[in-house]
Amino acid sequence: MASATYLSNPVVTVATVDLTDMCSAATVTSLIEALEDTAFGTGSRTYTAGLANNEITLTFYASYAASETYATLQPLVGNKTTIDVQPASGAESATNPKFTLTDCYLESLPVINASLGALSTFDVTFTGGVLTIDTTP
């Protein structure tokens, strides 16, 4: 049985700032809302595609230094931005597509998430916007 796998090492750019070295997890979700279009006399529910509601969730290490996570993300709360996530460094291709979420919205930012003896991390979720997939080098 053929399979293709890759070692997770994505490239993450938030509002043109490369935060790859501060990111430990990335999830890009393409979602099209389901609208029910079931008619009378139908024996089961049916659906049709509605609006896209894409999202990207990123886990960052907390850093308050200039050009790091807090300094980059804090001004984005309540605003739209663009996020790029690519599975690995290198040129875009069919096996290394770049996912770009344009005009996505950051609703909240956990400013401190601390535990004794652990590296501080926080999750941020960017919602909405237009998801494009670039496979051209």
The pLDDT tens digits for 68-105 are 999 999 999 999 999 999 999 999 999 999 999 999 99
Categorize the per-residue pLDDT at 67 as very low, low, confident or very high, splitting at 50, 70 and 90. confident
Amino acid found at 44 = S
Question: Nearest CA to 128 among 9, 10, 32, 63?
Answer: 32
Q: How many angstroms separate the CA atoms of 28 and 86, rounded?
A: 10
Q: How many angstroms separate the CA atoms of 129 and 92, rounded?
A: 21
pLDDT of residue 104: 97
pLDDT of residue 54: 97
| CA-CA-CA-CA torsion sign (18, 19, 24, 29) | negative
pLDDT of residue 4: 65
Residue 8 has pLDDT above 90, yes or no: no
pLDDT of residue 6: 65
CA dihedral 57, 15, 130, 121 (to 10 degrees): 0
Residue 7 has pLDDT above 90, yes or no: no
Mark out the alpha helices in 28-98 (DSSP H runs): 69-73
Question: Nearest CA to 61 among 112, 10, 116?
Answer: 112
pLDDT of residue 96: 92
pLDDT of residue 134: 96
Reported as a single tens digit per residue, the pLDDT across 15-52 is 999 999 999 999 999 999 999 999 999 999 999 999 99
